[in-house]
């Protein structure tokens, strides 16, 4: 007899870089065995504090090959680099009943929701643009030009905030993590 496993849900978390998204997500993943995070592919250069756990860091040629092979659920250009969600990171896990979390931008979210209309969409926002800039400067992982670009991108992302199901204003990491965990606990029941 074959056993039927419930299909896992798709959870999207977006928000400007520097809003605290990655830290909050890491804490939430620790709290939920039922959620796995899909590792994206990118042509962006690896930062000094990153490992191959963060992304599949690909050359332009490798990324092109994956586009040609139809390996992506979606891909987009963000901050002049390409980023994409690999089908292999999502479909198998969902079929096993695992919920899959995607940390992707607003453009990617628009594409994904066409294929997965019942995905859960969460946006993590900074308290203000000024605070975001301060956090990016303190993080010290990007050049000034890159930070300026990320601020402009953040303004564009914030303009799409209404398309999300749940918005967390990240003033304090503990409170934001609790909010996300409670929300997911309800949605994944
Ligand atoms: P970062 O370079 O700071 O790691 O990420 C820059 C932006 O790219 C973030 O907004 C992040 O959510 C987005 N991003 C990361 N992976 C993907 C992906 O696979 N697809 C899309 N569309 N955006 C992604």
Domain residue spans of the chain:
10-187
**Helix residue spans in 77-143 (DSSP H):** 87-95, 106-115, 129-139
Tell me the pLDDT band of 80, cut-offs 50, 70 and 90.
confident
72-78 vs 81-86, strand pairing mode = antiparallel
Nearest CA to ligand 1 atom 4: 17
CB 53 within 8 A of CB 39: yes
Tell me the pLDDT band of 17, cut-offs 50, 70 and 90.
confident
At 11 the pLDDT is 98
Residue 1 CA to ligand 1 centre (angstroms): 42
At 105 the pLDDT is 95
- Separation CA 77–CA 79 (nearest Å): 7
At 4 the pLDDT is 58
Structural element, H or E, at residue 105: none
- 3-class DSSP assignment, residue 39: coil
- Separation CA 143–CA 138 (nearest Å): 12
Residue 17 CA to ligand 1 centre (angstroms): 8
- Separation CA 82–CA 59 (nearest Å): 10
**pLDDT value at 1 more than 60:** no
Nearest CA to ligand 1 atom 10: 105
**pLDDT value at 2 more than 60:** no
Letter string b/e over residues 124-138, b meaning 16 or more CB atoms within 10 A of that residue's CB: bbbeeeeebbebbee
The percentage of residues in the chain with a pLDDT greater than 70, rounded to a whole number, is 97
**Helix residue spans in 32-105 (DSSP H):** 60-68, 87-95
At 140 the pLDDT is 85
Residue 24 CA to ligand 1 centre (angstroms): 15
Give the Å distances, CA to CA, from 187 to 29, 49, 60, 68, 107: 15, 33, 38, 36, 23
Nearest CA to ligand 1 atom 11: 104
At 37 the pLDDT is 97
- Separation CA 65–CA 77 (nearest Å): 16
58-69 pLDDT tens trace: 999 999 999 999
**Helix residue spans in 3-53 (DSSP H):** 21-31
Mutate to test the pocket of ligand 1, among 56, 87, 101, 103 (most ligand atoms within 8 A of CB): 103
Atom of ligand 1 nearest to the CA of 84: 19
Domain 10-187, second-level architecture: 3-Layer(aba) Sandwich (3.40)
Atom of ligand 1 nearest to the CA of 81: 2
CB 119 within 8 A of CB 11: yes
| Mean of the per-residue pLDDT values of the chain | 94
Q: What is the DSSP letter of 142?
A: S
28-51 pLDDT tens trace: 999 999 999 999 999 999 998 899
Please give the distance of CA 164 from its chain centroid, rounded to a whole number. 13
120-135 pLDDT tens trace: 999 999 999 999 999 9
Closest to 187 measured CA to CA, from 164, 170, 171, 160: 164
Residues in contact with ligand 1 (CB, 6 Å cut-off): 17, 40, 44, 74, 76, 78-79, 83-85, 103-105, 107-108
172-188 pLDDT tens trace: 999 999 999 999 999 99
159-176 pLDDT tens trace: 999 999 999 999 999 999
């Amino acid at each position: 007899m074959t056993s039927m496993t419930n299909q896992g849900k798709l959870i999207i978390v977006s928000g400007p870089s520097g809003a605290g998204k990655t830290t909050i997500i890491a804490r939430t993943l620790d709290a939920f065995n039922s959620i796995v995070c899909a590792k994206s592919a990118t042509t962006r250069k690896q930062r000094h504090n990153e490992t191959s756990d963060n992304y599949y860091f690909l050359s332009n040629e490798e990324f092109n090959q994956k586009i040609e092979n139809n390996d992506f659920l979606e891909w987009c250009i963000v901050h002049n680099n390409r980023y994409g969600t690999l089908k292999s990171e999502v479909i198998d896990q969902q079929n096993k009943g695992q919920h899959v979390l995607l940390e992707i931008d607003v453009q990617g979210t628009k594409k994904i929701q066409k294929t997965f209309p019942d995905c859960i969409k969460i946006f993590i926002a900074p308290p203000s643009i000024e605070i975001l800039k301060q956090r990016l400067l303190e993080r010290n992982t990007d050049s000034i030009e890159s930070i300026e670009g990320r601020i402009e991108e953040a303004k564009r992302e914030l303009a799409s905030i209404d398309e999300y199901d749940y918005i967390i204003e990240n003033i304090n990491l503990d409170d934001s993590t609790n909010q996300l965990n409670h929300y997911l606990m309800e949605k994944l029941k």
